Chain A
């Protein structure tokens, strides 16, 4: 009797497994023709689809921009329903897609993902992305230069149309004008400033994304520019020796950091907290307008300003992509195209909505669209767009970042 029950349960499980796999097969073939069809067919097919966008959900402004600006427009104009799914870390949905791939799930619920850098590389290496779709989008073709380095490459990894640029980020330092009237303009000046104002500066501990970016600036400035690192890390034989001045610099300023460098804030959020509560006079951000929006929210003091280094700061692009097993690819294409429209990008630029830099090529916009972008009020804490654009440095590829993160633990944190 007992054996019979066990056997029955086992059979049931097998049957369930078989069913779900068969149901998946037929629908999948249809969507692959999508890349061959024209935009009108895609837009018609998108009508009535529900698109799930998986993205980091820890910022009220960004969430509101999608829920209150993007979603209603998609609904009205294309009858596409955009559902935002908040995620703690982009790594989470990459892992989920890896599992879905190995389990053979062909009708997934993730339709759009927001990624860049390491996550894009992981997704590309594991073949989790649908295909070369960017060239299908009318707004991509009209307003974006596909050959520009910041669009064609994502942290050194060729994009190949697998993702479409959504916005740009650029590293800025944030300071309180009352406490640091003359902000440093280079890493050397920063070191002097730190020594004169002990306890007023620190950076997030690695592997924090922004802390790691701070150190890349130190690398560029103390070891003689970024040009030498435009090749794979493995090709530089004396890499360890080349990195030595960077560790020296970081160890030199360490005793003058917050809490005498005995400990570092574990994340940028913690550093922002220290800055907001007035314990340190500087913080940093990959979002040039973040300081302005924090001032608007009353979290940062009114005297908050941002500054760049004379040698430029790192800039990167963040992208939208479609996973291999998205169930509503037509809807996803329409939604991404809409988010690349000049109107959506101009709204995104405003710190009231989000304050994220536009992904579009300014030169390709009409005079009217250019005017609309120029009229966005950035508040007093944000630098002018021209100043940001003129001081951009390219990112390092992720193989260097691994070396630096490991090296920081050994050379700086442990000492």
Chain B
């Protein structure tokens, strides 16, 4: 049995190596390079100056990472609060004109964000929401919400109402029905949606720049001018830092999820002993 998996595993390993790990090597080399002239395979000498600029001389980098993560996590929390009831309604109630609501929620995937954000900017200017983290959070919801709703819908459509009915017959109120029956079933879907929401929010440049008007500094705002300006060492350092930030954000999410499952297991074990 085990042998059958081997080619698949080897293929997966190669795939990860080629498309995920290898592209990072030149990025790391460039960020440390000094005097890297074609056709040398390796830079002639190494220098820490790009990292020095990004990490230490430029105090705004750390602040930008903090703001990026803060926005991403708030956006994701709001998305979950909005997406779960929405998915519930989409899957379970025979809404009239359901396709219209779905179209509105999924429109940001199809319509380029630039189109929408220009209009949002004017409106936010009038009501004084530009240049605030709150405004940027609101603006980030439109490109991220569709993914969370999509994931929650998938989870809901595999959850039969019978489970909840059974809990109801056993005397569970609406809150404990949701917490003990629905939520555990939704968890994997929510985790997938939340990961996407975090990643998409972290990588927003245009929306953050326009709504934040340069007063809300996230990491992409610092990074973009260097990519188009052509300072490869600094652009590489920032890119690696960005990748690191995204990975840490996902790890935090993963850790929270694991803790949730552990608690569940522990709770189930205790109940098992009592019975």
Binding site for B on A (CB under 8 A): 13, 16-17, 19-21, 52, 54, 56-60, 63-64, 67-68, 85-89, 92-93, 95-96, 99-100, 102-105, 109-110, 267-270, 272-273, 276-279, 297-299, 301
> Which residues of chain B from 20 to 37 have any CB-CB distance to chain A below 8 Å in the complex?
34-37
CB distance from A217 to the nearest CB of B (A): 22
B49, B125, B215, B232: which contacts A99 (Cβ < 8 A)? B125
> For residue A278, which residues in chain B have a CB less than 8 angstroms away from its CB?
37-39
A109 touches B127 (CB 8 A): no
Bound: A52/B214 CA distance, A: 9
CB distance from B112 to the nearest CB of A (A): 16
Given A102-B122, A109-B215, the answer on whether A267 and B228 have CB atoms closer than 8 Å is: yes
- Smallest Cβ-Cβ distance to A273: which chain B residue: B230
Bound: A13/B126 CA distance, A: 10
> For residue B184, which residues in chain A have a CB less than 8 angstroms away from its CB?
none
Given A20-B126, A277-B38, the answer on whether A88 and B225 have CB atoms closer than 8 Å is: yes
Binding site for A on B (CB under 8 A): 34-39, 45, 47, 49, 53, 57-58, 118, 121-122, 125-128, 131, 205, 209-210, 213-215, 221-222, 224-232, 234
CB distance from B216 to the nearest CB of A (A): 11
Bound: A230/B53 CA distance, A: 44
> For residue B47, which residues in chain A have a CB less than 8 angstroms away from its CB?
298
> For residue B125, which residues in chain A have a CB less than 8 angstroms away from its CB?
99-100, 103, 105
B232 touches A273 (CB 8 A): yes
A20 touches B214 (CB 8 A): no
> For residue A89, which residues in chain B have a CB less than 8 angstroms away from its CB?
228
A16, A109, A270: which contacts B214 (Cβ < 8 A)? A109
- Smallest Cβ-Cβ distance to B205: which chain A residue: A88
B226 touches A58 (CB 8 A): yes
> For residue B58, which residues in chain A have a CB less than 8 angstroms away from its CB?
63, 67
Q: Quick one: which of B121, B214, B230 has the most chain A CB within 10 A?
A: B214
Q: Quick one: which of B45, B49, B121, B125 has the most chain A CB within 10 A?
A: B125
Q: List 26 A-B contacts (CB under 8 A).
A: A16-B128, A19-B128, A20-B127, A56-B229, A58-B225, A59-B229, A67-B57, A85-B215, A86-B225, A88-B225, A89-B228, A93-B214, A95-B210, A99-B125, A100-B125, A104-B126, A105-B125, A109-B214, A267-B228, A268-B230, A269-B230, A273-B232, A276-B36, A277-B37, A298-B45, A299-B35
A64 touches B37 (CB 8 A): no
Bound: A100/B122 CA distance, A: 7
> For residue A95, which residues in chain B have a CB less than 8 angstroms away from its CB?
210
B222 touches A57 (CB 8 A): yes
A54, A96, A103, A279: which contacts B210 (Cβ < 8 A)? A96
- Smallest Cβ-Cβ distance to A93: which chain B residue: B214
CB distance from B45 to the nearest CB of A (A): 7
- Smallest Cβ-Cβ distance to B53: which chain A residue: A60
> For residue B34, which residues in chain A have a CB less than 8 angstroms away from its CB?
297-298
List 7 additional contacts besides A109-B131, A267-B230; criterion CB under 8 Å.
A57-B225, A58-B230, A87-B209, A96-B213, A269-B228, A269-B230, A277-B36
A59 touches B231 (CB 8 A): yes
> For residue B39, which residues in chain A have a CB less than 8 angstroms away from its CB?
278
> For residue B229, which residues in chain A have a CB less than 8 angstroms away from its CB?
56-59, 269
